A and B are shown apart, each in its own frame.
Chain A
Amino acid sequence: MLDRTKAPAHFATTRFDLIRPRQVTFANGLPVFVFDAGDQDLVRIEWIVGNIFAAEDHALLNTAVCEMLLEGTSVHSSAALAELIDFHGAFLVPSFSYDQSSLTLFSLNKHLNQLLPLVREILTDSVFPERELATYIRNSTQKLQVSLKKNGFEARRQFNRAVFGTSRYGYAPEVADYERINRNDLLQLFGKQYRPENGTLVVAGKVTDEVIDMLERLFGNEWQPAGTAASVDGPPTITPAQAGELIVVERPDALQSAIRLGRQSIQRSHPDFPGLQVVNTLLGGYFGSRLMANIREDKGYTYGVSSGLASLKHSAFFTIASEVGVQVTAATLVEIEKEMRRLREEPVPETELATVRNYMMGTMLGSLENIFSHADKFKNVYFSGLDLDYYDYYIDVVNSITQAEVQRLANTYLDYDKMVKVVVGKLS
């Protein structure tokens, strides 16, 4: 007779195999990382450049350059570029993050000889036409106004400002900032930032020798730094708001309040980072976390609550986010404080720690399901100035962390009183 009350045996994942990239350096100095695998005739190619900020308080310029990359070169108009990319069934996606700007191509191999020359043209000869800029400004301002009506969006802006002050990481554009963008500044920044010596190329998928040859010709030989010498990115000066500050943005009609809570934290290169990720997972990093168990599954205050730890080039932050019914906003903050205190004051039960360990190792294994995810894992460490050996350390920490260590980390990094608290909606 089948005993359904007994769980089947399960096995802990104690290691995982990462695919190491083949590294090539092109003649112009561009580092290239190749992840070759897969049955499908497709590739993902990422051209990544480090952000260089003309002014910390005008980081919008960097966003605009990135988002306008497909708006025309001196040879092809925006419309012509779009037509060629779409006709070849490709997706060419610019994306801007805190420290890097990237252009990612998803394509079937058979179309690469048509598409790669276009990408080279975009990276070397974008012209940011006035008319397209006007459209960009108009449409982006409209979208910003819609986003500003969303409590979660506003809370994130308030949070970033409070934690990172007026630096690039704290910057949140206002509608008026869009009017400050002009074509000359875009061209100048484009010339400074989109250069092989400031770039990294990450290629994943079915990367044949033919693909590498084509990339080398177009992005090794034909992509040369032009004009003035490259600028370097200097670390920003970050002056955060007062520790523990409470910021409330009243929204009288709100049905829910958006909550953001957190502070600056440690970077991936810090020895405590993987351990703090374990603590973060316990607190709010998975469905069974203490915050979810308490605030959603016991009290039903919210659809979701989570915490996260993000490592940036020059800083890092820890954050908790949720949207909760307005009448339970204050009660939610009390519970968050309680859960943080419990991690500091009481040792975590060994069974709970084992669950988190297994969960983290299982999901790490699960996040490596195709060649693109191997490339992503690599980027995480590479842009933190580390190499793939980091994951050996990570595995070691996750598998061996003790109750005492969890408590030490909670006491070092999770102090509710020092966290900035943002509420957009209603607090009482």
Chain B
Amino acid sequence: MVSFDRFTLTNGLRVLVHQDNATPMAVVNVLYDVGARDENPDRTGFAHLFEHLMFGGSVNIPNFDGPSQVAGAQNNAFTSNDITNYYITLPAANIETAFWLESDRMLGLAFNEKSLEVQRNVVCEEFKQRYLNQPYGDVWLRLRPLAYQVHPYRWATIGKELAHIEHAKMEDVKDFFATYYTPANAYLVVAGNVETATVKALAEKWFGPIPAGQKPRRQLPVEPAQLAPRREVVHADIPQNAIYMAFHGAARRDSGYYTVDLITDLLSQGQSSRLYRRLVKENQLFSEISAYQTGSMDPGLVVVEGKPLPDVTMEAAEEAIWRELAELRSHPIEPYELEKVKNKIESTMVFAEMGILEKAMNLAYFELLGDADGFNHETQRYLAVTEADIQRQAQQLFRKENSSTLIYLANDHA
């Protein structure tokens, strides 16, 4: 149980406080309701590039990291297709430093040309390191546009291509900031060895004077139902063939999200899971295999990915996966197996309450979903899923016409 207090400043900034006196530390976490899905299709990768620029100095503070480090803090951020999340962890006695730093970059950035130029390069190197210079690194650059034709989930957070990042201009940076980095579009969570009254006073002092701005309206195209299977085959210089199958699934706020999560757990959580047990161990068709869902705000994907062993044809590998998925459609699972995956969820949720940073991020994210208290009811939502729900959801998901299959075939150098 993660308890919290909640209040809203007059400029619209929502603030949540979670007190945990077992630690001498505090976390200041700011979630902005903006991600790669909000980008212009011709300037993708921008939300993430922008995240880098948030460390390039703000209107009154030329250097973000220096003062943070002097206060014994660690800070970082991440961008997803849905959100951008910043956090600072520091000794609780120094918490005002975090308020000062975070509020100034919400107030305004330095918009420094040198920073833009350097971060364009840094992000291009990140693009190469993670997506281009790795075997199978470009999976999401291919799988997203295969599965989504209209919705902005068709591009990855890093962007569609290097050129989009190389051409980012200061003018775009300024517009993006003005549109999305407003108090009304942010969630501030403070957790750790703190008191609500202190946090309230500090929030009023540092964030209160920031002009309200507008909560941007999001009007994203809806992905139409997929009517036919899609397929892409890539020949690449890789040591082993690989298969990725994506199915349109649930959005994070759908009740089906929990059912889908349990389905992917049945398929690949732990060494007793179906795909691992049957396709890796018993039938020895794959060297590795896994299933998961993207869990995004708009309807996401369920992905099954695996690497068939060298003597297994891609047809046989693919057929084996379909056989397992078909079984979930045709046979209700045993209560024992459902209980098993629910038990795993239960312990995972208890372990998730071990750290203040994780708790702070979860509170911010669940507040974005509608209510931070939702985090305290997650386990119950999983426990409510029935065998019949699993079968119904599997029937909805695992249809050929709902599938996008990406196949990597190794170039033969023998």
Contacts and interface: CB of A to CB of B under 8 A. Distances in A.
Interface string B348-363: 1011011110000000
B28 interface: no
Interface string B283-303: 010011000000000000000
A362 B122 CA distance: 27
Contact of B339 (A87, A107, A296): A87
Given A85-B270, A146-B135, A288-B69, A300 B343 contact: no
B284 to A, nearest CB: 7
A254 interface: yes
Nearest to A286: B69
A330 to B, nearest CB: 16
Contact of B97 (A10, A82, A138, A370): A10
Contacts of B284: 135, 138
A40 B72 contact: no
B69 A298 contact: no
B198 to A, nearest CB: 13
Given A2-B209, A86-B269, A303-B129, A288 B238 contact: no
Interface centre among A4, A139, A148, A354 (most CB of B within 10 A): A4
B134 to A, nearest CB: 6
A306 to B, nearest CB: 13
B100 interface: yes
Nearest to A151: B133
A243 B299 CA distance: 56
Nearest to B131: A255
Interface stretch (A11-19, A45-53, A158-166, A385-393): A11-19
Most chain B CB neighbours (cut-off 10 Å) among A10, A296, A358: A10
A428 interface: no
A256 B127 CA distance: 11
Which among B70, B104, B206, B284 has the highest number of chain A CB atoms within 10 Å?
B70
Give chain A's interface secondary structure class: mixed
A25 interface: no
Nearest to B23: A369
B325 to A, nearest CB: 20
B61 interface: yes
B126 interface: yes
Q: In this complex, which of B123, B288, B310, B354 has the most chain A Cβ atoms within 10 angstroms of its Cβ?
A: B354
Contacts of B125: 256, 300-303, 323-325
Contact of B96 (A8, A41, A256, A297): A8
Central interface residue in A5, A89, A300, by most chain B CB within 10 Å = A89
A338 interface: no
Interface residues of A, number: 75
Interface in A347-373: 354-356, 358-359, 361-363, 365-366, 368-370, 372
B237 A300 contact: no
B240 interface: yes
Contacts of B149: none
A138 B312 CA distance: 13
Contacts of B129: 256, 303, 323
Contact of A83 (B97, B122, B272): B272
Nearest to A90: B347
B71 interface: yes
A106 B347 contact: yes
Given A135-B281, A138-B309, A288-B66, A363 B96 contact: no
A184 interface: no
7 contacts: A4-B103, A40-B351, A86-B272, A87-B336, A138-B284, A362-B91, A366-B90
Interface of A: 2, 4-5, 7-13, 16, 37-42, 70, 78-79, 82-83, 85-91, 106-108, 135, 138-139, 142-143, 145-146, 148-151, 253-256, 286-288, 296-303, 323-325, 354-356, 358-359, 361-363, 365-366, 368-370, 372
Interface of B: 22-25, 59-61, 65-67, 69-75, 89-91, 93-94, 96-97, 99-100, 103-104, 107, 117-123, 125-126, 128-130, 132-136, 205-206, 209, 237-240, 269-273, 277, 280-281, 284, 287-288, 307, 309-310, 336, 339-340, 343-348, 350-351, 353-356
